[in-house]
Structure 1
Amino acid sequence: MDQDYSGEINHGRLYPNLDELVEKGLLEKGTIDNRTNSYSVTNRGRREVQARREWENQHVSVEE
């Protein structure tokens, strides 16, 4: 995430947001060790992202 995001990552907001996505069934939370969690996108999460892309393709035009 540090490589893809140019701003400072606020961990006080990141983890509650990740937990909300887990609660909604869009992410699955696992553990790597006692201090580190892992997150992966669920099938529902993939469907939601695909639906959003399709909506954007229909409603957002890119002018060059």
Structure 2
Amino acid sequence: MHDLTAFQRDLLYTIAGQDEPHGLGIKEELAKYYGTDINHGRLYPNLDTLVDKGLVEKGQADQRTNIYSVTRRGRREIEARREWENQYVGDTLEAED
């Protein structure tokens, strides 16, 4: 996951957190998070990069709608990232609660 941009990492997390996410649904979730519109020219090439890296699979719900799912490798990458993050902020955040 170290070779992903922050936006690609956010895409991966968003896909992992939804049931059969599709492009428009992913776009809407990210727009809420970023507080700005996400254009197609940014979204779809980055989704394709995640597919090319083997982190996400792309399927079809119908002729116009692609659905995305995190692969086993993608889930392992998410878990490894969370472990890495917890080394630095896990205890700190828990102490503040």
Shorter chain as denominator, the TM-score bin is 0.7 to 0.9
In proportion to residue count, which structure has more helix? 2
Structure 1 unaligned blocks of 5 or more: none
User: Bigger relative contact order, structure 1 or 2, given CA contacts below 8 A and separation 6+?
Assistant: 2
Q: Percent identity?
A: 66
Q: Radius of gyration: which is bigger?
A: 1
Say what the alpha-carbon RMSD is for the aligned residues. Answer: 1.7
In proportion to residue count, which structure has more strand? 1
Structure 2 unaligned blocks of 5 or more: 1-25
Instruction: Give the structure-1-normalised TM-score.
Output: 0.85
* Equivalent position to 1:28, from 57, 63, 80: 57
Matches within 5 A, 1:1-64: 1=26, 2-3=28-29, 5-6=31-32, 7-60=36-89, 61-62=92-93, 64=96
> How many aligned positions are there?
64
Instruction: Give the structure-2-normalised TM-score.
Output: 0.58
